[in-house]
Amino acid sequence: MPDVHCTVNTCKYWQQQNLCSAQQIVIQSDAQGGFSPNAKLEQLSATPANNIDETCCQTFKNAHA
């Protein structure tokens, strides 16, 4: 599986260097993209979320729930 980057550090699947460890990823369109498509995702700041509604990733599961 290729590297999948994610900055949501409160997700169960988040790993150091903003990597996602989920076996399957479900992503939906994000018309409000918050960073450049050329951004080095592994270097972005981690961004916490409390629930799936605060992300654009349907794979999100709160690591602390």
CA distance 3 to 22: 10
In degrees, rounded to 5, the angle at the alpha carbon of residue 5 between the alpha carbons of residues 38 and 40 is 30
CA distance 63 to 50: 9
CA distance 25 to 18: 15
Q: What percent of the chain shows pLDDT beyond 70? A: 75
Is the model more confident about 48 or about 21?
21
pLDDT of res. 32: 47
CA distance 40 to 62: 24
Segment 25-56, tens digit of pLDDT: 876 555 545 556 566 766 777 778 888 888 87
Is the model more confident about 63 or about 29?
63
Say what the pTM is: 0.64
Beta bridge partners of 19: 5, 15
